[in-house]
C-alpha cells in the first residue's frame, strides 16, 4: 500500500479521511451538528513498527447543518494484528468544534422529554431521498450513532457511509437520558454491500450520543424485507 507522500485524490488518503469524519461525528455529532468530509488537501502515510500504518492528513470538513467548511489536521492509525482493532484518530480543527448548538439541543431534548408518546420513525430517508422535517433530528441521531459503528469497523480496505435509518424507536427511560433503539443500513463502498446493524443508544445535550449496544444483523439474502426489529 502507498507509503510516503500520498496523492490526495487517490483512495488511500480518501479512505483514511473518511475515518476522520466518522470520528468527528461519533465524538462531536448531535441533532444539530453533523460532519461530512469535504476534501483531502494532502496526506502522508508511514508504517509503524509491526503494528500498522499511520496517516497524517490535511483535510477540509463541512459542518452539514450550518453549511460551513473548515480545515483540519488529523492522524489516523490503522492497527494490524490478530484482533480487530478500531482505527485510532486524533484531529484538530480551529473553529469547527466550537459548539453554539447548545440552545437548540436543549429545546429539542425538552420537546422530546415532554412528548406524551414515544417517538418512532422508519425509512429515513425514504426511497425518494425524502425525510419529513419532524424526523430530521432522528435521522441526525441515527447518523451520529452509526458513526461509532462505522469508526469501529473501518480499515484501509473499507469506505463506509450510512445508507438509511430503517427504523428508529424511542424507549422509555427512568433517568435524564433519552433512549433509542434503531436498525441502520450501512453502505460499504469497496464490497458494495449493505450491512445491517442494530443499535441501542442514549442522548442528552450534556452527554451527547452514547452507544450502549451494537449488533451486526445477518443479511437474509432470500428475504424480501429487512429482519423484523420488534
Partner 1 sequence: MLSSVLSLVVLLSATGAAAVERVEHDYYKYHPMPEITDWMAQVEKDHPDVVTVVEYGQTYEKRTISLLKIGLNTGEEKKAIWMDCGIHAREWIAPAFCQYFVRQILQAHKTDPKMQEMLKNLDFYVTPVLNMDGYIYTWKDNGTRLWRKNRSPGPSGCNCTGVDLNRNFNATWGTIGVSFDCCSNIYCGRQAASEPEAQAVTYFVGSRKEAFLCFLTIHSYGQLLLLPYGHPNFTASNYNELMEVGLGAADAIRRVHGMNYTVGTSPAVLYPNSGSSRDWARMLGIPFSYTFELRDKGTFGFELPEDQIQPACEEAYSGALHIITYAHDKTFSGAVATAAATLWTMLLAVGVTGNTLM
Q: Which residue ranges make up the site for partner 1 (CB under 8 A)?
A: 7, 9-11, 14, 18, 36-37, 39, 64, 122-123, 125-130, 161-164, 166, 185, 187, 189-194, 221-226
By beta-carbon proximity to partner 1, the closer residue of 65 and 211 is: 65
By beta-carbon proximity to partner 1, the closer residue of 81 and 129 is: 129
At residue 191, the 3 state secondary structure works out as: coil
Of the candidates 181, 183, 204, the residue with the CA atom closest to the CA atom of residue 195: 183
Backbone CA torsion sign across 108, 113, 115, 117: positive
By beta-carbon proximity to partner 1, the closer residue of 164 and 202 is: 164
CB of 230 to partner 1, least distance (A): 15
By beta-carbon proximity to partner 1, the closer residue of 108 and 162 is: 162
CB of 128 to partner 1, least distance (A): 5
Mention every residue, 6+ apart, whose C-beta is less than 8 A from residue 69.
38, 60, 61, 62, 63
Q: How far is CA 109 from the centre of its chain?
A: 20
Helical pair 136-153 and 11-28, crossing angle rounded to 10 deg:
130
By beta-carbon proximity to partner 1, the closer residue of 127 and 213 is: 127
CB of 123 to partner 1, least distance (A): 5
CA distance 44 to 53: 10
How many other C-beta atoms are found inside a 10 Å radius of the C-beta of residue 89? 21
CB of 60 to partner 1, least distance (A): 10
CB of 192 to partner 1, least distance (A): 4
Amino acid at each position: 500500500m502507498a507509503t510516503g507522500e500520498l496523492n490526495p485524490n487517490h483512495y488511500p488518503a480518501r479512505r483514511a479521511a473518511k475515518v476522520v469524519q466518522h470520528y468527528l461525528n461519533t465524538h462531536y455529532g448531535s441533532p444539530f451538528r453533523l460532519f461530512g468530509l469535504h476534501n483531502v488537501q494532502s496526506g502522508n502515510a508511514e508504517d509503524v513498527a509491526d503494528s500498522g500504518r499511520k496517516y497524517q492528513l490535511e483535510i477540509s470538513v463541512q459542518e452539514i447543518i450550518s453549511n460551513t467548511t473548515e480545515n483540519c489536521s488529523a492522524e489516523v492509525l490503522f492497527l494490524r494484528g490478530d484482533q480487530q482493532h478500531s482505527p485510532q484518530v486524533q484531529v484538530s480543527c480551529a473553529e469547527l468544534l466550537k459548539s453554539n448548538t447548545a440552545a437548540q439541543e436543549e429545546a429539542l431534548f425538552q420537546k422530546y422529554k415532554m412528548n406524551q408518546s414515544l417517538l418512532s420513525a422508519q425509512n429515513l430517508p425514504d426511497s425518494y431521498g425524502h425525510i419529513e422535517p419532524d424526523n430530521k433530528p432522528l435521522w441526525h441521531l441515527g447518523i451520529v450513532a452509526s458513526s461509532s459503528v462505522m469508526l469501529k469497523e473501518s480499515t484501509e480496505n473499507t469506505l463506509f457511509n450510512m445508507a438509511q435509518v430503517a427504523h428508529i424507536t424511542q424507549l422509555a427511560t427512568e433517568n435524564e437520558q433519552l433512549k433509542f433503539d434503531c436498525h441502520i443500513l450501512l453502505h460499504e463502498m469497496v464490497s458494495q454491500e449493505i450491512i445491517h446493524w442494530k443499535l441501542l443508544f442514549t442522548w442528552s445535550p450534556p452527554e451527547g450520543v452514547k452507544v450502549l449496544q451494537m449488533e451486526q444483523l445477518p443479511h437474509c439474502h432470500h428475504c424480501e424485507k429487512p429482519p423484523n426489529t420488534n
